Structure 1
Amino acid sequence: MRIKNTLNHLNKLIDYNPNLNEAQNNRLRQTPFKWVFDMTDHIKVSGPLLEELLSRWDSIIHGFRVGCKTVAFAPADVCIALGLQIVGTTVPVPLNDNIDCHVKSLFNGEDVTIDNIQQKLNVLNTEQDIEDFCRLYILFAFFALYFPKKSRNVTSVPFKLLDDLNLLETYNWGQAVYEDLVESINTAAAKYAQSGGDSGKKMILSGCSAILQLVEDLVPTEEDQQFDVVAEVIRQSEVMHTNDIDTDFDATAILRKQRILFDHNKTFRERIFMFVKDFKHMTTVYFVLM
């Protein structure tokens, strides 16, 4: 079975990052999404890896079956992978609000698409309107990375919350991204099970599936590869199909890259550690004051 993702606009966002100036960078660093514009390398999600993860998904525990244990997939994984906080006010659902707001007014009634967002960003960049520029940049990130869907128009994102950039840090974005992805995994895993992994079928996995490549526990070690089931997975993944073109696929090399990607997030883990430490301190102070 061919598993496709909805991150086809992500590399457009990454390509746009070098265009950000110092003032825009400084303003974005004051939001919860301050690490997005640090992304410089294109990201490619492995279809065979996604298929293997779907086949191992436990919809009750919310984790992946590996050998005789289940590796939990939790909001903390989103926090580590994307640097998003997992405390704060719940992001209103459904994400696709139809309420008129300032951000939507910037499009003058036109459909909101990635192309339109990029055009507006170029105009705002010329006008040096930093606030509106950052609103649209984050909207771009919402649809390209955090809440991607198979749609031409930008949908399923909380437009109205972007009206006040200063309030963004009060929301639990990590939990929102996690729940959006888990809902998609649950649906896709159920369809995968029903199809029996039919190689002639295609399936779309929406949500921020790039996170799944950073779950370190799912990277087989040399010891893991001694198990027949793991060896069989690697054997069957010798060839992958991308855009209907056969491409040599080295599973070991891909898994090695995933480990490297996770290692690159070492600074994220250090930042998260400091965040947790500060949060515990704030909690202690709060109860002392009470």
Structure 2
Amino acid sequence: MTFPVLADKVAIVTGAAMGMGEETAKLFAEAGARVVVADFNEEKGRAVAAAIEQSGGEALYIKVDISDSRQVQALIAQTVAHYGRLDVAINNAAISPDNALVEDFDENYWDRLMSIDLKGTALTLKYELQQMVKQGGGGSIVNIASVSAFRPQGGDVAYVSAKAAVVGMTKVAAVENGPHGIRVNAVAPGAIDTAMLRSSLGARGMTIEEFAPTMSVFNRLGHGREIAQASLWLASDASSYVTGVTIPVDAGYTSR
């Protein structure tokens, strides 16, 4: 059961066309938020927004490449033009780990991943904060990091570096914006069953059955909705005294 803990709130979810972002957008709509489904994939993004509307929620799709400052600014402007304000943001958009050793990483892929996973998160955070400070009344922002920032495996140096930086960025933004009543936190997902993870495993020649026990004391992958629930708690007033933290949702992976 979902309670209307985000009633009358306006929430942006980036990377909302699939995976954890899709689950988050749908859960937030169930919790009463007016949701902006932000994603570069127009076909899938529009489908998610339509599914929310068909279920009785309120959603708006906006196409955005978060690595482009002008498009991120337009995302915020369109959100405010349509809904009047911005209360919550989930910065989830990212691309797959690079599957490369430190001594052999591909510079082109490094640049592409950093432009989205790190710079893109920074840009969305920047302009979300500007809007929240301008309108007053506080707000809540959740950056999606990764347990790889705390307990990395080999073979994904760019991804680990980007997600570790997201954790640091979250802390800085929380310290700077506490006086404005804006909370900034992060969620660090463990092994979640998404198309991105399946693609990454395929590139490594691993099956889910082989991988899950190495990442989870439950011997299973997590579900996108389980990450969405953590983001929902951080987005809601239930976590009103929480800022600057990163919550692992990882079935014990960082505990052993």
The verdict on a shared fold, with TM-score over 0.5 as the criterion, is no
Q: Give TM-score, length-normalised by structure 2.
A: 0.25
Q: Which structure is higher in strand share? A: 2
Q: Which structure is higher in helix share? A: 1
Q: Give TM-score, length-normalised by structure 1.
A: 0.23
